[in-house]
Copies of this chain bind each other. A is one copy, B any other.
Amino acid sequence: MNKTLLALALLGAYAGTAQAQSSVQIYGNVDAGVIKRTDQATAIGKRANNTLGFKGSEELGNGLKAIFQLEIRYEPDSGTIEQGAGGIQRPLFQGQSRVGLTGGFGTLRLGRGLTAFQESSIAFEPFHGIPSPSGFQTDLTVAGYTSDPLGLPGNSTNRFSNAVFYNSPEYMGWQLNTTIGTKEANNGAAVIGRGTALLPQYPANSGSETNPYSIAVTWKRGIFGAMVAHERNAVESEVSSVAGYVMATPEMKLMLSYQKQDQSHTKLINQDTKAWVLGANYTMGMSKFLAGYGQKQVDGLEKVKQFSVGYEYSLSKRTYIYADISNKKGAPAIAPSTNTSINFYSLGVNHSF
């Protein structure tokens, strides 16, 4: 929830000025807890992303609005900007930095943010897209795919920089969501791919040969929702996904997704990955139960299996405590070096503002 200066406008505070429609919202959340992985020391860490954001809009007339959103991401356990692999700091506005117009034609934005596929897929994942190893979003829900392989070191794996974002209006429950990136280079590290360390397929600071893009068509009708999506990144890995959910009862949401990644542009073996995730959410008063099971199969490698259960208890509109238990077997992502079974536990608090 946001505390917003918009309220000033409601109060007529700007009535005497030209800015009656102004607003800047400061919003965000802090999520911190105790986490434990089988092979690591007990740690303080996050379960969901931590954000501090600034957003606003301006009425332009005729139903048209200018909109912007700038979202800082950070690590509350160490006070740093959000860190990627190896502790490398991500961009300040890792969450998003976009500006654009919204109106009857839909929403058109420029900048950096989640791709159409990555954003749309969250509705079909049982842990509402959290990056915690308890969730499925960053690995199984996308079949191990990464959206930004040529980005800065430490960069996000599910965003496009230098992109145009378009979301159509909803029509009969249908919506078209697209993201198209430029071929710009971004000071990224080399990607060896089908090359060698000396002659990588994509040398450091490479641009893409083709425009990265992401398309997600979503559909909602009554208790049903569905998505068909396709995305290609800057090294021409492609991911496709179909997904659906049903509100079996008003308290019970069941969801299923299937996805496939094709990395034949940069790999000689292990080119194809298939994955599926089955999930359920059940709400009972202040409690919410989360459960998911999924498998990921990279051709030629051992199958990955993940099972997770979670519990959230709302202390208020903006604060909940949570506890998760998860197990992952045969997995590069959570246990890169060995084919072991890894357990993951988390217990913490999430506060929105």
Q: Which residues of B contact A348 (CB under 8 A)?
A: 110
Contact of A56 among B187, B349, B353 (CB under 8 A): B353
A131 proximal to B (CB < 8 A): no
Contact of A43 among B30, B42, B184 (CB under 8 A): B184
A301 smallest CB distance to B (angstroms): 29
Most buried by B among A33, A52, A64, A164: A52
Q: Which residues of B contact A94 (CB under 8 A)?
A: 79
Contact of A184 among B19, B44, B99 (CB under 8 A): B44
A5 proximal to B (CB < 8 A): yes
Taking chain A's interface residues, is the majority helix, strand, or loop, or is none over half, making it mixed? strand
Q: Which residues of B contact A8 (CB under 8 A)?
A: 3, 7-8, 13
Bound Cα distance A351, B41 (Å): 43
A340 proximal to B (CB < 8 A): no
Complex: chain B residue closest to A156, CB-CB: B79
B110 x A32 contact (CB < 8 A): yes
Q: Which residues of B contact A298 (CB under 8 A)?
A: none
A303 smallest CB distance to B (angstroms): 31
Binding site for B on A (CB under 8 A): 1, 3, 5, 7-8, 10-11, 13-14, 18-19, 22-24, 26, 28, 30-34, 41-45, 52, 54, 56, 58-61, 64, 66-68, 70, 72, 74-81, 86-87, 91-101, 110-112, 152, 161-164, 182-184, 186-187, 207, 315-319, 348-349, 351, 353
Complex: chain B residue closest to A321, CB-CB: B101
A153 smallest CB distance to B (angstroms): 11
Query: In the complex where A182-B42, A182-B44, A318-B58 touch, is A77 in contact with B110 (Cβ < 8 A)?
Result: yes
Q: Which residues of B contact A79 (CB under 8 A)?
A: 91-97, 111-112, 161
A14 x B7 contact (CB < 8 A): yes
Most buried by B among A14, A94, A318: A318
Bound Cα distance A112, B52 (Å): 16
Most buried by B among A33, A101, A316: A316
Contact of A110 among B98, B100, B349 (CB under 8 A): B349
A265 smallest CB distance to B (angstroms): 19
Bound Cα distance A3, B58 (Å): 12
Complex: chain B residue closest to A14, CB-CB: B7
Complex: chain B residue closest to A44, CB-CB: B162
B183 x A351 contact (CB < 8 A): no
Bound Cα distance A31, B97 (Å): 11
A3 x B22 contact (CB < 8 A): yes
Q: Which residues of B contact A22 (CB under 8 A)?
A: 1, 3, 318, 353
Query: In the complex where A7-B8, A52-B54, A316-B60 touch, is A76 in contact with B26 (Cβ < 8 A)?
Result: no
What are 22 A-to-B residue pairs whose CB atoms are below 8 Å? A5-B26, A22-B318, A24-B353, A30-B68, A44-B182, A45-B162, A58-B318, A58-B353, A61-B316, A66-B315, A70-B74, A74-B92, A76-B99, A76-B111, A76-B112, A77-B162, A78-B152, A79-B111, A79-B112, A80-B152, A87-B187, A99-B351
Q: Which residues of B contact A80 (CB under 8 A)?
A: 91-93, 152
Q: Which residues of B contact A110 (CB under 8 A)?
A: 32-34, 44, 76-77, 348-349
